[in-house]
Amino acid sequence: MSSIIYPTTSFKNTETLTVERGEGAYIFDNNGNKYIEGMAGLWCTSLGYGNKELIEATTEQMSKLSYSHMFGGKTHQVGMDLSDKLTSMLPMKDAKIFFGNSGSDANDSHVKMLRYYFNAIGKPEKFKIIARERSYHGVTVAAASLTGLPINQANFDLPIDALGILRTDAPHYYRGAQNGETETQFVDRIVGNLEALILKEGANTIAAFIAEPITGASGVIVPPPGYYQKLQAVLNKYDILFWADEVITGFGRTGNDFGSTTMGIESPDMMTMAKQLSSAYMPISASAIRGDMYEAMIEPSASLGVFGHGYTYSGHPVACAVALKTLEIYERDNIFVKAAITGAYLQAELAKFKNHPLVGEVRGAGMLGAIELVANKKTGQAFATGQVGGFITQACQNHGLIVRAVAGSSVAFCPPLIVDNTQIDEIISKFSKALDETLEYTQRENLLVS
């Protein structure tokens, strides 16, 4: 056993798979076993492994300028080019871009920029942020406080109240609907709860509402139709910013350029991006804000001498070069269009599992999906622990498929955007075998509830 402290891992269950190399949509372990990547790494390797153009972009930039920071007015052309390219793509007005290294630090940067902005316009009391139950926004101190998953908060004593984090309903109809409630009634109720929260706290104290358009680690929750339209109407009524966390849903994952487009979200005020921005070949993130928010911060930063936030690797030239090449490939090869077509096939194939005895719900959009396993199909009763999710994840791996259990017993699917229908068939076939084995396991262990 090595001396690594492993992320998001039980310290009693480390080093169970040693990955040695990757090629296209596949990874290989140190024993030569081959696995199809049903999760694109951690929702991120959109162009798969071993892409020669990205490797060449890395090598070329390292040879030219391996590193340069962006403090104190210094810059470099590849960073400026990437920011301009992103600004042209985003569904925001005159977006300004701050670069970081991960989705977590990008959300932390947004928390700080929100406070800086409202201080700049004379509203220091407007700092609270509404996040949803069962949300995921990262694991740094501020990002983990925004996150609504107990496993990411237990034992860390996070300053949730000090940061002004408020909670509202998760838009998961399958889990949250009351008896006899239609989807429309469910949406109206939870949006009504949001408005009641705003009135209770005082709209003048609330800065923003953060949401993944479609969630990832919290179970790939796809909100019902009309949810975001009604939600944005409430936020606009009370002058609260909409903050779209596009770390997973950005860059073609949901069948469109951004998850906001897929879900009908209009003109986010802030957007967080990472993962597929560089197809994970280099760590990079982007925090985008409206141009007028940036303008309001110019004079305060000048009076202080600097805008006192930034990372050593903000706008790292190699990461910027790789991200720029990634965006070029997306556009040149029509990756988003292809992903929409392949994604429709993936969703149709996943839907075929709806009648399986273990399956409670199938959900997703584009190249992002989840199958929720339940202890009682009729009532939707969840398994008490994550043991079934752990079993099926290992069963899939035994068959040469990498997936991930999220939110207990939901199995997430997020293959590279470059896979074809034949590879989707491979994923489905391997998962089907593992699902049947899991049913036998739950029966053998008396985990099903009648």
Angle between helices 183-201 and 227-237 (to 10 degrees): 20
Euclidean distance between CA atoms 111 and 128, whole angstroms: 10
**pTM of this structure:** 0.97
What is the average per-residue pLDDT within 118-144? 98
What is the average per-residue pLDDT within 90-112? 97
Pick from 313, 384, 323, 353: which is nearest to 54 by CA? 323
349 in Cβ contact with 368 (< 8 Å): no
All CATH 3.40.640.10 domain ranges in the chain, comma separated = 54-332
Which residues fall within 8 angstroms of residue 126, CB to CB, at 6 or more apart? 118, 204, 205, 206, 207
What is the average per-residue pLDDT within 213-225? 97
pLDDT digits (tens, 9 = 90+) for 50-79: 999 999 999 999 999 999 999 999 999 999
pLDDT bin (cut points 50, 70, 90) of residue 148 is very high
Euclidean distance between CA atoms 317 and 76, whole angstroms: 7
**pLDDT more than 90, % of the chain:** 99
301 in Cβ contact with 96 (< 8 Å): no
**What average pLDDT does the chain have?**
97
Q: Report pLDDT for 196.
A: 98
Q: Is 400 exposed, middle or buried (0-12, 13-18, 19+ CB in 10 A)?
A: middle
What is the average per-residue pLDDT within 423-438? 98
pLDDT digits (tens, 9 = 90+) for 308-339: 999 999 999 999 999 999 999 999 999 999 99
Q: Please give the single-letter amino acid code of residue 173.
A: Y
Euclidean distance between CA atoms 370 and 356, whole angstroms: 14
**pLDDT more than 70, % of the chain:** 100
pLDDT at 450 over 90: no
pLDDT digits (tens, 9 = 90+) for 230-274: 999 999 999 999 999 999 999 999 999 999 999 999 999 999 999
In our burial notation (b when 16+ CB lie closer than 10 A, e otherwise), range 35-50 reads: bbbbbbbbbbbbbbbe
pLDDT at 162 over 90: yes
All CATH 3.90.1150.10 domain ranges in the chain, comma separated = 334-444
pLDDT bin (cut points 50, 70, 90) of residue 1 is confident
The CATH-assigned architecture of domain 54-332 is: 3-Layer(aba) Sandwich (3.40)
Euclidean distance between CA atoms 234 and 196, whole angstroms: 10
Q: Report pLDDT for 93.
A: 84
Q: What is the CATH number of domain 334-444?
A: 3.90.1150.10
Structure tokens at 389: 């999710």
Q: Please give the single-letter amino acid code of residue 390.
A: G
